[in-house]
A and B are shown apart, each in its own frame.
Chain A
Amino acid sequence: MTGEIGQLALSLALALSLLQAMTGLAGARAGNELARHTATISALGTFVFVVLAFGALTYASIVSDFSILNVAQNSHTLKPMLYKVTGVWGNHEGSMLLWVLVLAIYTAAIAFARRGGERITSAALGVQGLLAAAFLVFILFTSNPFLRLDPMPFEGAGLNPLLQDLGLAVHPPMLYTGYVGLSAAFAYAAAALITGERDWARAARPFMLAAWIALTLGIALGSWWAYYELGWGGFWFWDPVENASLMPWLIATALLHSALATERTGAFRSWTLLLAITGFSLSLIGTFLVRSGVLSSVHAFANDPTRGLYILALIIGAIGGALGLYAWRAPGREQGTAFDIASKETALLLNNVFLAAAAATVFVGTLYPLLLDAATGERISVGPPYFALTFAPIFFALLLLVPFGPRLGWKRGDWISTYKALLPAIGIAIVAAIAVLALTTPRTLAGAAAFAVAAWLIAASVIDLRKRQTITTSAVASALGHAGLAVTLIGIAGTTLWRSEALEVLGPGESMYVGTYELRLDSVVGARGPNYDAARANITVLSGGRAIAVMHPEKRLFPAEGQDTTETAIRTTIVSDLYLALGDRRDNTQWVVRAYVNPLAPFIWLGGLVMALGGFAALFGRLRLPRTSPTAAPQPAE
C-alpha cells in the first residue's frame, strides 16, 4: 500500500508542478489574477504531495517494508531506528526525493511570503514549478524509489556503514537546503528578467541567506565527518565531490555581496543576475557530478548512464534557458548609478572578482580530468598541489582585502581614513606574525602569514563594530562572517603546518610517542554494537609519565553489509586534538596504530559555525541593536 500511495503522490505532484509552471509564468503578466491564484494553490498542492511521498518512503523504511526494492537494497531490520530514517536519503532514489522535498519547501515559502510583489512571485513560482517538474520526471522515470520487489526478501542488504553516522545523516539535508535554496535565487533572477522587476535581489535575499547558511554548515559538517570517520586525520581532500559543494558556496558568497550593492545603490545589476544563475547552475552541476557516477566516491550511488544523461540534459536546459533569457532581456535594462574608485562598491567588486576567480580554479581542477578522460581516454587526477598553487593564493589575496569593505562608504568612500581606522589591526597582525615566528616550531612563514591575516580580519571586525555609532544586525553579520573566515584559517594553518604524526605496530603493553604524548596499548577487546562487531582498543595516554586519559579507537565489522569501518578516538582540548585510529591486526596480538596531534583542528569547523551565525544575523536585515556603552547617542538611521 505504502508504495502505491508514494507513487500516486509523486504523479500528482508532477501534474500540479506542471500546472504551477504554466499558471505561474502566465501570472507574471499584469492583471492575471486567476493564473496567480492557481499557481499558488498548485505550489502548495505540490508541496503536500511531495511531503506525502517522502513520508511514505520514510514509513516503508521504518517498518522495513522489503517489498519495496529501494528499502530492500538499502535497509536492514537490525539497523538502528535513527539510521532507518536517515537512510531514506542515504541512496540515490531517496536523495533525489529529498532534493524535490527541499525544493517544494522553498516554493511554498515563496508562495507564502510573496516578497517583491505579485508579478515577480508568480513568475518565480513558475520557474520553481518547471524545476520541480523536471526533477519529478527524473525521479519517476529513472530513479523511482517506489519500485516493487517480488518476491519480497526476508532481509535487506543494509546501508553503507560509513553512512551510519549522525554527522553524515544531517549532512545531505543541510547541503540540499543550500543547493536548492540557490534555486530560489535563480527563480527570482529569472522572474526579474521575465517581468522586468528591478527589486528582485531584496525579495530573494532571505532565500539566498538561508541557502548560504545551509551550504556553510553542510560543508563544515561534511569536512568534520571526513575528519573523524575516514581515519586519515585530514579534513579536506579536494575530492571532486567536496569541490562540487565548494563552488556554489563561493558563488553564493559573491552573490550575497553583489546583491548588497544592487539593493542599496543599483550597482552591478546585471552581474548579480548572472551570479544567481551561475550559483544554481553550479548546484546542478554538483548534483550531476555527485549523482551520475562519473566520479568514484562514497557519494556515487548511481551508475546508470541514463540518469547521468538526463541530469546533463536538465543542466543544459536550465543553464541554457536562463542564459538565453539573460542575453535577451538583460542588455535593455538601465544601468546603475556611478561610484568612486574609493567606495564600498569597489570593495564588493574586488570581492566578486576574487571569489569568481577562486571558483573558476576549482571548476577547472574538478572538470578538467573528466573532460580529458572523455576526449582522450587518459585518466588523470588533480590533487592538492594544484589547489595549493591556484585557489590558495587567490583566496589569500581576497582575505587581505576583506577588512576594507565594511569600513568604506557607499558611492564615495575614503581610502585614507579607512586605512587610518584599520591601522591598529595592522599592528595586531604584525604582532601576531612575530609571535608565531618566535614561539612555534617548526618555524614557518606560511604559519606567520596565516596568523597575521587571521588577526587582521578579527581585529578589523572588532574595530568596525566599535567605530559605528549604531550597530545594526547587518554590521554584526559582516563582522561575524569575516571573523569566522579567520577562525577557520587559524584551524587550517594549525592542523596542516604543525601536525605530528606517528604510525607503529604495537603489542599489548607497548608504547608509541606522538607530540608530547606517550600512548600505551593496554589491550584490544571484542565489543558488540546493535548491528556490528568491534575490536576496541584500550590505549592509555600519558603526558610527562602521568596517565591522563584512556582512549578507545575501534575497528567495526558490519556483517549485514560485509564491510568494516574505523572509528577514530579524538580527545580535544579545543586548541589541539589527539587523534587515534586503529589499523589492521598483525599476527595475533599486534595492531597497527596511527596517531596524530592536530593543533587547532576544532577551529576549522568552529569558524564555519561563526560564519553561519553571521548569516543568521543578516537574516534580520538592518535591524538596530542597542549599544552597551551609554556614551553613544542614538543616531538617525542611514
Chain B
Amino acid sequence: MNAKKRRRLAFVIALVTASAAAAALILFALKDNVLYFYSPTDVAQKHVAAGVNFRIGGLVAAGSVTHGQSAEVAFTVTDGKASVPVRYRGVLPALFREGQGVVALGALNDTGTFTATEVLAKHDERYMPPEVVDALKRSGRWKEGQ
C-alpha cells in the first residue's frame, strides 16, 4: 500500500469511526432527552405519568390566575375540552395573560398538578405558538383568522 492510499484509508476510517460514534451518541441522547408536547386533552387521555418532563400548551383559563407567597403563581391551562392546573415559581413572561396562549415546561406531580420550571408566552399580539394553535384545532376551539 503506498502512502497516498494509506492516507485515504486513514481518512475514511477516521470519518467512519467518528460518524458511528456521533450517531451512537445522538441516538442515545435522543432516546431520553426529547420533550413531548401535550395538550390538556392529551394529558387526560394518555395518563402521562407523574415526574415525566413534557411541555403543555393551551390557553390560560379566564379567572384562573392566583398569586401565592414569594413569586408563586397558579393558573389553569385549557384547550376547551380538558384543563390542567399549573404551578410555577418565577417571573412570568411579559405577554402572559388570561385567555391567551401559553406553553409551560415541567412535570405532573402525584396530585395531577403540573409543576412548571419554565413558562413561555407568545412573542407578540399577532403570534400564537403553533403547538397551541394545533391543540386548539384538535379540540375544535380554533377559529380561522383568530
- Residues from 502 to 520 in A contacting B, C-beta threshold 8 Å: 503-505
Is B141 part of the binding interface, using a Cβ–Cβ cutoff of 8 Å?
no
Q: Is the CB of A564 within 8 A of B94?
A: yes
Is A357 part of the binding interface, using a Cβ–Cβ cutoff of 8 Å?
yes
A364 to B24, CA, bound (A): 12
Q: Nearest A residue to B17 by beta-carbon distance? A: A353
Q: Nearest A residue to B7 by beta-carbon distance? A: A338
Residues of B within 8 A of A581 (CB): 91
Residues of B within 8 A of A386 (CB): 29-30, 33-34
Is B64 part of the binding interface, using a Cβ–Cβ cutoff of 8 Å?
no
Is A379 part of the binding interface, using a Cβ–Cβ cutoff of 8 Å?
yes
Is B144 part of the binding interface, using a Cβ–Cβ cutoff of 8 Å?
no
Is B52 part of the binding interface, using a Cβ–Cβ cutoff of 8 Å?
no
Is A84 part of the binding interface, using a Cβ–Cβ cutoff of 8 Å?
no
Interface with B: A1-9, A188-196, A387-395, A487-495, which one?
A: A387-395
Closest approach, in angstroms, between the C-beta of B31 and any C-beta of chain A? 10
Residues of A within 8 A of B131 (CB): 296, 379
Query: Given the known A-B contacts A296-B129, A594-B90, are A583 and B33 also in contact in the complex, defined by CB atoms under 8 Å?
Result: no
A380 to B55, CA, bound (A): 8
Closest approach, in angstroms, between the C-beta of A20 and any C-beta of chain B? 37
Residues of A within 8 A of B91 (CB): 231, 503, 566, 581, 583-584, 592, 594
Closest approach, in angstroms, between the C-beta of B21 and any C-beta of chain A? 7
In the complex, which of the residues A353, A354, A566 contacts B94, with contact meaning CB atoms closer than 8 Å?
A566
Is B142 part of the binding interface, using a Cβ–Cβ cutoff of 8 Å?
no
Residues of B within 8 A of A335 (CB): 4, 8
A296 to B7, CA, bound (A): 45
Closest approach, in angstroms, between the C-beta of B111 and any C-beta of chain A? 24
A91 to B20, CA, bound (A): 41
Is B44 part of the binding interface, using a Cβ–Cβ cutoff of 8 Å?
no
Q: Is the CB of A394 within 8 A of B22?
A: yes
Closest approach, in angstroms, between the C-beta of A629 and any C-beta of chain B? 39
Q: Is the CB of A563 within 8 A of B18?
A: no
Query: Given the known A-B contacts A357-B22, A364-B30, A504-B71, are A338 and B4 also in contact in the complex, defined by CB atoms under 8 Å?
Result: yes
Interface residues as binary, A553-577 with B (CB distance below 8 Å gives 1, 0 otherwise): 0010000011111100000000000
Residues of A within 8 A of B127 (CB): 296, 300
In the complex, which of the residues B21, B33, B36, B69 contacts A389, with contact meaning CB atoms closer than 8 Å?
B33
Q: Nearest B residue to A512 by beta-carbon distance? A: B70
Q: Which of B10, B22, B131 has most A Cβ within 10 Å?
A: B22
Residues of A within 8 A of B25 (CB): 361, 389-390, 393-394
Interface SS of chain A: mixed
Is A349 part of the binding interface, using a Cβ–Cβ cutoff of 8 Å?
yes
Residues of B within 8 A of A296 (CB): 127, 129-131
Q: Nearest B residue to A562 by beta-carbon distance? A: B125
A231 to B14, CA, bound (A): 43
Residues of A within 8 A of B36 (CB): 378-380
A23 to B28, CA, bound (A): 51
Is B67 part of the binding interface, using a Cβ–Cβ cutoff of 8 Å?
yes
Q: Nearest A residue to B27 by beta-carbon distance? A: A364
Is A623 part of the binding interface, using a Cβ–Cβ cutoff of 8 Å?
no
A586 to B22, CA, bound (A): 49
- Residues from 81 to 125 in B contacting A, C-beta threshold 8 Å: 89-92, 94-95, 123-125
Is A360 part of the binding interface, using a Cβ–Cβ cutoff of 8 Å?
yes
Q: Is the CB of A381 within 8 A of B7?
A: no
Is A350 part of the binding interface, using a Cβ–Cβ cutoff of 8 Å?
yes
- Residues from 1 to 60 in B contacting A, C-beta threshold 8 Å: 2-4, 6-8, 10-11, 14-15, 18-19, 21-22, 25-26, 28-30, 32-37, 55
| 9 tightest A-B CB contacts, nearest first | A338-B3, A379-B37, A583-B91, A389-B29, A357-B22, A386-B33, A385-B33, A353-B18, A564-B94
10 further A-B contacts with Cβ under 8 Å, apart from A503-B91, A505-B69, are A298-B123, A338-B4, A339-B7, A357-B22, A364-B30, A386-B33, A389-B33, A503-B71, A566-B91, A594-B91
Q: Could you list which residues of chain A lie within 8 angstroms of chain B, going by C-beta atoms?
A: 160, 162, 231, 267-268, 271, 296-298, 300, 335, 337-339, 341, 346, 349-350, 353-354, 356-357, 360-361, 364-365, 368-369, 378-383, 385-386, 389-390, 393-394, 503-505, 555, 561-566, 581, 583-584, 586, 592, 594
